[in-house]
Amino acid sequence: MVSHAKRFEAFGWETIIIDGHDVVEIIEAVKKARASKEKPCCIIAKTLKGKHFIKGIEDNVKWHGKILGKSNSEGTIELLKSMIKNPEPMLIPTMPFGKAPENTHERTHFMLPTLTYQKGKEIATRIGVGTALRRLGYQNQNMVVLDAETKTSTYSYLFQDAHPENFIECYISEQNMISVATGLHARGKITFSNSFGAFLTRAYDQIRMAGISKANLKIHGSHGGVSVGEDGPSQMGLEDIAIYKPIPGMSILYPSDAVSAEKAVEIAANTYGLFYIRATRPGTPVIYENHEHFELGKCKVVVKSENDVISVVGAGITLHEALIAQKVLESEGIRIRVIDVFSVKPIDASGLLKNAKQTKNLVLTVEDHYINGGIRGIFLF
């Protein structure tokens, strides 16, 4: 404990070492820390696992995660009762200020205003996500946007500039950001958490538990895949689809242009549950009309003919690579069908199978993701 204290003191902290099982020491240490105005204060509490349990259990790692059983439980209860020195309450906590609102989890009704994107103009899907967040923020004061110090890259700053009172900067701590979002969900808020797809893997445990808890969280993972380019492999989300797909209740949307990016945000905002929206860094041409309708669990057939010899399935930036290939092959007399998967989970199984049957049962997926668990994996219905 002393060595830990010295490390903090070396950086100019005041340190207080206490018995973490002594309530009086804890209260006095907190009072002292609050009174410290000239430097930060660190309270180091020494605790033992199974403190005050019957003999053989306290500070015994072999008992971690084990069921005590009837005799050990009864013996421990009796031991704890015998340690009570004053049956009257010594410490009465004060009530918190204000009252938290009741959690009603009312269904939301967000609707984007008419979009005005120009076909062919290159706009990154991450910008589409940030723009949609800003637009929807005007419609519901119950919406909160969080970011992990990537707001100028995820474009969540667009929401912050318009709705600063509903924006939370969580800094470089994705784990904490998802925990904060989960707490806000428990109070009935609709949250959108933003960071790079690669960095959100740090919060996998929190996201996994949000799925188990059936939480209403929306997550925007930008900079997906190798299309991040010069930012390098440390910034490339290459496993995000694979790791989020198994989480119960998780929906994954993968927009390919600014229009579908805004519609993905709208769908997530209006649908209760856990959502992951995967966006890319570089700009991609707008290919959809502003009034195009998108649905959860439905794909989009972008190019087709009666003579298509294969269905090429992409999403995000790979859809645009497929469209480039389609034009080259068409000039050579080869017809291919190009499909935008959009909703990775739930997947449009019937739609994809129908198109596959119409193209000689041949399907090619184009990935910006590790081969295991990417779009290819969606065909393992």
Q: Which long-range contacts (CB under 8 A, 24 or more apart) does 367-372 make?
A: 367/318, 368/224, 368/225, 368/226, 368/227, 368/280, 368/316, 368/317, 368/318, 369/224, 369/225, 369/238, 369/239, 369/240, 369/241, 369/242, 370/238, 370/239, 370/242, 372/242
Q: Looking at residue 224, what DSSP letter applies?
A: B
Instruction: Give 289's contacts (C-beta < 8 A, 6+ positions apart).
Output: 119, 259
Are β-strands 337-340 and 190-196 bridged in parallel, bridged antiparallel, or unpaired?
unpaired
What is the Cα–Cα distance from 40 to 353, expressed in whole angstroms? 61
What is the Cα–Cα distance from 63 to 46, expressed in whole angstroms? 19
Given 9, 174, 239, 262, which residue is catalytic? 174
**Any catalytic annotation for residue 174?**
yes
DSSP-based three-state secondary structure for 303: strand
Quickly tell me which residue has 């009034």 as its tokens: 291
Quickly tell me which residue has 């004060």 as its tokens: 94
Instruction: Give 232's contacts (C-beta < 8 A, 6+ positions apart).
Output: none
Instruction: Give 335's contacts (C-beta < 8 A, 6+ positions apart).
Output: 305, 307, 308, 309, 329
Max Cα distance, the chain (Å): 91
* CB-CB contact of 217 with 181 (8 Å): yes
Are β-strands 250-253 and 343-345 bridged in parallel, bridged antiparallel, or unpaired?
antiparallel
What is the Cα–Cα distance from 241 to 243, expressed in whole angstroms? 6
* Residues carrying an active site annotation: 174
